[in-house]
A and B are shown apart, each in its own frame.
Chain A
Amino acid sequence: MARNKYDIDETLDSGFDINQLKRLGSYVGVYKKRMIFVIVIMLISSALSMLTPMFLKDVMDTVENCAIHGIISKDDATRRVIIASCLMLVVTLMVVVILRFKIKMMAEVGQGIIHALRRDLFIHLQELPFSYYDDKPHGKIQVRVVNYVNNLSDLLSNGIVNTITDLCSLVFILFFMLSLNVKFTLVCLCGLPVLATLVFMIKKKQRRAWQIQSNKQSNLNAYIAESINGIRVTQSFVREDFNTDIFNRLSADSKAAWYTAVKYNFIMNPTVQTITVVTTAIIYALGVAWITDGFGAMTVGTLIAFTGYISRFWAPITTLANFYNSLLTAISYLERIFETIDEPVEVKDLPGAVPMAEIKGEVEFKDVCFAYEDGVQILNHVSFKADVGQSFAIVGPTGAGKTTIVNLISRFYNVTKGQLLIDGIDINSVTIKSLRSQMGVMMQDSFIFAGTIMDNIRYGNNEATDEDVIRAAKTVCAHDFIMGLENGYETEVNERGSRLSQGQRQLISFARAILADPKILILDEATSSIDTETEILLQKGLNELLKGRTSFIIAHRLSTIKNSSCIMYIDHGQIVEMGSHDELMKNEGGLYYNLYMSQYDFLNK
C-alpha cells in the first residue's frame, strides 16, 4: 500500500460483508446470556407497561358505573379506585426496577464489548511491522483505537437489545392486527416495500457518505496529531498561519462530509411518518367504504381498534430505522477497525517455534538477501560470521543497508533469501519474544516514554532493582547528569523527553539497552550526539561491558569503532571490505582506508 499522508483519504480494500457482521457477533456473543436476560426482562417490562392502561380503564369504568350509572356505591368505587391505583404503582415500581437493571447491564455489556474490541485491536497493533507505522500518519492509527471504538458502545448494547425487543413487539402487534383484520394488515404492510425501496436506494450513497466522513475525520485527526508533535518546527518556521489554513481546509472537509452523511440519516424519520399517516388514511377510507357497503362484516369497533394498532406497528419500525442508521454509521468505523485487525502480520512465530535457549552470541549470516515488498533490493548475498564476544562494526554510505543488517538480527523483518543463525539456530525457528528479549538494541531514534527516568531505563528489564538501574546508568555515564536533575531518577520526563538534550536521551536509551543484560548488543548510531569526553568514558565502561557479548555497532565517528574485532564496509547491500582496522588500513586506496583518512582531510586544508 502506498504511503499515506494527512490529506489523502485512505482506500479501503475490503468491503463490509456479512462475515464481518458475524465477527462482530462473536464479540456480542460473549454476553449472549446477559443480552437474553435483558431482552426477557424488557419484554416483561413492556408487558407490565401494558397493564397501566388496563388499570386506568378499570378506574374509568368504575367511576363511570358509579357516577353516571350509579351501579356501584361510592365506597366500593373508592375502594376499587384505590386498589387499582396502588396496583398500578406496584407495576410501575417493577418497571422502574427493571429499567435500572437494564441500564446497568447494558452499560456493562456495551463497555465490555468495546473493551474487548479495543484490546484485540491494540494487541494486533503490537504485532504489526514497522512498515505499517511508517506508512501512515500515527494520528490515523490512533483514531481507530480510541475514537472509532468508542462510537460503538451504545449500538452494540442498547441498540441490539432495543432492536430485538422491538422486533418482538412488532411480531405481537402483527399477530393482533392479523387477528383483527387480515385485509387491513395487508394494506398496512404495503408501506414496508416502500420503505425498503427507499432504504435500498440510498443505502449505497449513505454508506459511502459515512465512509467519506470517517476518512475526513481521520485526516483531521492525523493533522492535529502532527501539528502538536511538530510544533517546534512549525513555530521556528513561522508556519502557524499557513498550517491553520490547512487545518481549516481539513476541518471544512470534515464538516461537509458530516453534513452530507447526516442528511441521509435525517430522511429516515419523516419517511416512516409519512408512510404511517398515508396507510392510516387509506385504512380509514377503506374502512369507512367497507362499513357503508357492508363489505366483510366490517364494524366501527374493528376499524377504530385497528387504527390504534397502526401507530404501534410503525413505532418499532421507526426505532429499527434509527438502528439501521446508526449501524451504517458504525460500519464505517467498524470496517476500519477490522481492516486493522486483518492487517497481516509478516513477522510472527512460525508453527512449532520454540523459545530460544540462552543466547551465547554467535551470529551468522548465510547468503542473506533482503528486499522490501516493492521489490527494492536492499541486501545482496550477505555472508559473515561473528563469534561469541566479538564486536562487529558496520560502516558505509547512507542507504547502503547498514541498519537493515542489524534489523534482520532482531528479526524485525524476515530475510527474503538465505539464513540467519544465532548459535547455529535459524532465528525463524524460535519465538520472537525469546529472541528479542535477549538482545539490546539502541536505535537511531532514542524514544523516551512519559514517566520517570527510572521507569524509562527500567523499560529494558522490568525485574531490575533500583540498584541495577543506577548501575546501568553509571556504566553509560548517565548517572551524573541524572543526579543533577531536580528529582534525580524520579524526575518526570514527558514523551520524547523534550526537556532532555538529545545526547542525554541517547544515554538513557543506552542504559535501557544494557539493563536487559543482552548477549547481543546492537548500537545503531547510538552515540552520535554524545560529546567526545563522555564517549571516551563510555567506551571504557563499554569495553568492560562488552566482554563476552557480541556487539554490532553502526557509527560515523570512526574513533568509536576502531577497536572493533571486525569492520564491515557495506555498499549497495553488499559487504565490500571486511577485516580489523589494521588489516583494512593496510589496503591503501581501499574504501575504508579512504573513509578513515577523509576525516583528517580538513586538517590539511
Chain B
Amino acid sequence: MSAMKWFYSYFKKYQWRTLFGLILVTATSMLAIVNPKITGYIVDDIIGDGSNIQLDLLPKFLLLMIGATLLRAGIRLFFLFIFETNSQNMLFDMRDAIYRNLVAKDFTFYNNNKTGDLMSRQTGDMMAIRHFVAHVIYFTYECVLLFCISLVMVFTVDWRIACAMLLVLPLTLTNTIVQSKRVKPGFSKIRERFSSLNAFAQENISGNRVVKAFAKEEFEISKFDRENAAYRDSELAATKIWMQHVPIFEFLANLLTFVLMLVGGIMVINGDMTLGNMAMINGYLWMLNEPLRQAGWIVNDWFRFVTSVEKIYATIQEEPGIKNPVSGPFDISAPKPEGSVEFRNVSYSIDGEEILKDISFKIEPGQKVGIIGATGAGKSTLVNLMCRFFDVNSGEVLIGGQNVKEMDLRVLRTTIGMAMQDVFLFSDTIEGNIAYAKPDCPFETVEWAAKVANADGFIREMPEGYDTIIGERGVGLSGGQRQRISLARALLKEPSILVLDDTTSAVDMETESQIQQALDNLEKKETVFFIAHRISSIKDADVILVLDEGRIVESGNHDELMEKQGYYYTVFMHQYGEYEKIRKGESVNG
C-alpha cells in the first residue's frame, strides 16, 4: 500500500459526498457565468440607450438577478458545509486510526521516535489533510471547470483564436510540473523542521527543572534560536522556489489577454473575425485568467498535502515487532492465568549489546522473588520480557505455563501488575491515576489499593484528597509519593504477578516495611517480584536472584545466599555489617 492509497482508504467513505459537493460546485460555476449575462441583458436590452426602457421587464429581471445570486450563495454555503463535514469526519476517522496504531507500537518504536515528532503527525500534518479535503479539492475542481467551460465557449465563438490561446496550455503544464517537482522537497523539509522544532519545544518543557537547575536558559534559548531559525529558513527556502513559479502563472494568465489583443485585433482588422465576437471572448477572459492565476497556489496546497500524507504514512506503516497473536474482543473479567513464571535459556540483546544471557529459572504461583544486582545488570529488562514489551532473542518466557509469544497480549498484561522504575503519572486526579486499570471501579477499591501501598495517609492530607489533580510525571509529589501511587495503581489490577521495579527506593525504611507487611497480608496470594537495592526489600523473599552482567550468578533464599558469601553477602555486609557492632554497643549500654 502506498501513502496515497492509505489516504484513499479513508477518503473512500466520503467520495460520493464529495462528488455530490462537486456537482453543487458545478452549479455555482454555471451561475457565476449566468449572473453577468443577466446583468448584461438588463443593461443592453432593458435599459438600452435610455430612450426605450422596458419598465415591465425590469423588476422581473432585477428579481432574477437577486434570485440567482441568492441561489448561488445558498448552494455555495451548502457545499462548503458538505466539504467541511467530510473533512472533519474523515479527520476523526484518521485520528482514531493513527491513535490506535500508535498505542499498538512496541517499546522499540518509542525508543526510536521523539514525542514531538509523533505529535506533529497528529497535529500539523492532520491540518494539511483537513485543508485539502475541506478546500483544495473543490477549489481545484472549480478552477479546472471554469477554465474548461470558458475554453469551450471561446471555441464556439472562434476556434482559431481558441487554438492560439491553447498554446498557453503546454507552458502552463510545464510550469506546473516543474513547480511540483521542485516544491516537494521544500515542503518535506518544512515538515521535518516543524517536527524538529516541536520535538525541541517538547523536550525543553519536560526538562524545565533541569534547565533551571543548571541555569542553562541561555543555552536552551540559543538552541531554540537555531531550531526556530531553521524552521523559518525552511519556509523561506520553499518560498524562494515557488515565488519563481507563481508569477509565471500570473504572466501566462495575462498572456491570454495579449493573445486576444494581438491575434484577435489583427483578425478583426483582416476581417477574419467580427468585432462582436472579439468583445464576447473578452467577456469570457476573466474565467480563463483566474484559474491560471491560482494554479501556482493550488500546486503548493497539493504538495503540502502529499508531504503530510507521506509523513503520516511513514510513521504508521512501521510494523510493530510485537503484535498481539490474538485479535477480537477481550473479556477483562475472565479469570487470569496463575502466577507461575518460567524463563528457559532466555537471551536478549539490543543494538548488539547483550543484556541478558541464558537466563533460566522457575517461580511457583504465590512465591516472593527478590532480584538484586548492579546498575544495568538487566533487572528491568528481565521483567519487561515477562510483559512482552520486548521479545527474547532466544529461549522462552512462560507465564502460567504458556509461552508469552502465544498469549493474548491483553491477557498477559492484565496478569502482570507493574510498578515501573520510572514512574509516569497522568495529569488526572489521584483517584483517576490509581484506578487506571479499572476506571469504573468503586472508590473503596481505590482506597484499598492506596492503603496497601501506604499512600492513603498522605493523599488524605492533600487539599482535595483523592480528587487532587496531579501534574504529568507527578511533579508536585515527592519521589516516594509517586512510587506509592504507582504501586497502588499496580495493585488495583489485582494481578497474578506483581512486579515492583525499584518501587520503594525513595520511600523511607519504616514506610517500606509497612508496605511489605500489607502485601504479605493480602488475601490473594500474588506472585511478587521485588527489584531492589536495599537488602531489607528482598530479604524475606522465597527466591532471591542475583544478576550480574546479564546472568544469574546466585540464586536461593537469604540464608542460602549468606552462606555462599558471594555478591549478596557482600551487599548485605555493606548495608548491615555494622549492625552487629551496634547491637553489641547496645548491650554494653544496656
Choice from B65, B216, B472, B480 contacting A280 with Cβ under 8 Å: B65
**Minimum CB–CB distance for A118 against chain B, Å:** 6
Which residues does chain B contribute within 8 Å of A99, judged by CB atoms? 246-247, 250
Question: Is the pair A247, B228 in contact by a Cβ cutoff of 8 Å?
Answer: no
A74-82, A164-172, A325-333: which one contacts chain B?
A74-82
**Minimum CB–CB distance for A485 against chain B, Å:** 7
Question: Is the pair A235, B76 in contact by a Cβ cutoff of 8 Å?
Answer: no
Q: B3 at interface (Cβ–Cβ under 8 A)? A: no
Which residues does chain B contribute within 8 Å of A259, judged by CB atoms? 84-85, 88
Q: What residue of chain A has the Cβ atom nearest to residue B570's Cβ?
A: A533
Q: What residue of chain B has the Cβ atom nearest to residue A481's Cβ?
A: B376
Question: Is the pair A227, B376 in contact by a Cβ cutoff of 8 Å?
Answer: no
Q: B198 at interface (Cβ–Cβ under 8 A)? A: yes
In the bound complex, CA of A226 to CA of B92 (Å):
19
Nearest first, the 8 A-B pairs at minimum CB distance are A503-B375, A436-B215, A270-B73, A81-B265, A300-B50, A107-B239, A528-B505, A277-B69
| Given A557-B534, A600-B576: A133 and B475 interface contact (C-beta under 8 Å) | yes
- Residue from A126, A135, A303 with most neighbouring chain B CB atoms (10 Å): A126
B116-124, B164-172, B181-189: which one contacts chain A?
B116-124
In the bound complex, CA of A276 to CA of B65 (Å):
11
Which residues does chain A contribute within 8 Å of B429, judged by CB atoms? 5
Question: Is the pair A532, B221 in contact by a Cβ cutoff of 8 Å?
Answer: no
Additional 17 contacts, C-beta under 8 A, given A137-B471, A145-B201, A145-B205: A5-B427, A62-B265, A78-B269, A96-B248, A96-B251, A107-B236, A119-B225, A227-B102, A233-B426, A234-B103, A243-B103, A291-B50, A494-B111, A499-B350, A501-B376, A507-B375, A598-B509
Question: Is the pair A528, B479 in contact by a Cβ cutoff of 8 Å?
Answer: yes
**Minimum CB–CB distance for A399 against chain B, Å:** 6
Which residues does chain A contribute within 8 Å of B458, judged by CB atoms? 398-399
A190-198, A418-426, A442-450: which one contacts chain B?
A442-450
- Residue from B85, B210, B502 with most neighbouring chain A CB atoms (10 Å): B210
Which residues does chain A contribute within 8 Å of B588, judged by CB atoms? none
- Residue from A137, A224, A259 with most neighbouring chain B CB atoms (10 Å): A224
Question: Is the pair A81, B262 in contact by a Cβ cutoff of 8 Å?
Answer: yes
**Minimum CB–CB distance for B491 against chain A, Å:** 12
Tell me which residues from 408 to 432 in chain A have a Cβ below 8 Å from any Cβ of chain B: 410, 412, 432
In this complex, the interface size class of chain B, counting residues with CB under 8 Å from chain A, is 35 or more
Question: Is the pair B481, A602 in contact by a Cβ cutoff of 8 Å?
Answer: no
| Given A221-B119, A433-B215: A277 and B70 interface contact (C-beta under 8 Å) | yes
**Minimum CB–CB distance for B216 against chain A, Å:** 7
| Given A104-B243, A444-B506: A240 and B104 interface contact (C-beta under 8 Å) | yes
B138-146, B415-423, B444-452: which one contacts chain A?
B415-423
Q: A22 at interface (Cβ–Cβ under 8 A)? A: no
Which residues does chain B contribute within 8 Å of A242, judged by CB atoms? 439
Which residues does chain A contribute within 8 Å of B436, judged by CB atoms? 233, 237, 239
- Residue from A81, A136, A588 with most neighbouring chain B CB atoms (10 Å): A81
In the bound complex, CA of A531 to CA of B138 (Å):
64
Question: Is the pair A403, B575 in contact by a Cβ cutoff of 8 Å?
Answer: no
In the bound complex, CA of A289 to CA of B416 (Å):
89
B16-24, B93-101, B356-364, B394-402: which one contacts chain A?
B93-101
Question: Is the pair A291, B53 in contact by a Cβ cutoff of 8 Å?
Answer: yes
Question: Is the pair A104, B207 in contact by a Cβ cutoff of 8 Å?
Answer: no
Question: Is the pair B574, A89 in contact by a Cβ cutoff of 8 Å?
Answer: no
Question: Is the pair A138, B579 in contact by a Cβ cutoff of 8 Å?
Answer: no
Q: B261 at interface (Cβ–Cβ under 8 A)? A: yes
Which residues does chain A contribute within 8 Å of B250, judged by CB atoms? 92, 95-96, 99
Question: Is the pair A228, B575 in contact by a Cβ cutoff of 8 Å?
Answer: no
Q: What residue of chain B has the Cβ atom nearest to residue A555's Cβ?
A: B506
**Minimum CB–CB distance for B303 against chain A, Å:** 16
Question: Is the pair A595, B510 in contact by a Cβ cutoff of 8 Å?
Answer: yes
Question: Is the pair A60, B579 in contact by a Cβ cutoff of 8 Å?
Answer: no
A51-59, A173-181, A382-390, A467-475: which one contacts chain B?
A51-59
Question: Is the pair A236, B389 in contact by a Cβ cutoff of 8 Å?
Answer: yes
Question: Is the pair B240, A112 in contact by a Cβ cutoff of 8 Å?
Answer: no
Q: B564 at interface (Cβ–Cβ under 8 A)? A: no
Question: Is the pair A529, B42 in contact by a Cβ cutoff of 8 Å?
Answer: no
Q: B311 at interface (Cβ–Cβ under 8 A)? A: no
Question: Is the pair A503, B376 in contact by a Cβ cutoff of 8 Å?
Answer: yes
In the bound complex, CA of A350 to CA of B353 (Å):
52
Question: Is the pair B115, A495 in contact by a Cβ cutoff of 8 Å?
Answer: yes
Question: Is the pair B53, A292 in contact by a Cβ cutoff of 8 Å?
Answer: yes
In the bound complex, CA of A62 to CA of B92 (Å):
61
In the bound complex, CA of A238 to CA of B275 (Å):
78
Q: List 23 A-B contacts (CB under 8 A).
A: A3-B427, A81-B261, A89-B254, A96-B247, A100-B246, A103-B246, A107-B235, A226-B472, A228-B115, A229-B473, A230-B424, A238-B414, A255-B91, A263-B81, A266-B80, A266-B81, A299-B50, A304-B43, A439-B213, A501-B375, A501-B379, A529-B375, A531-B373
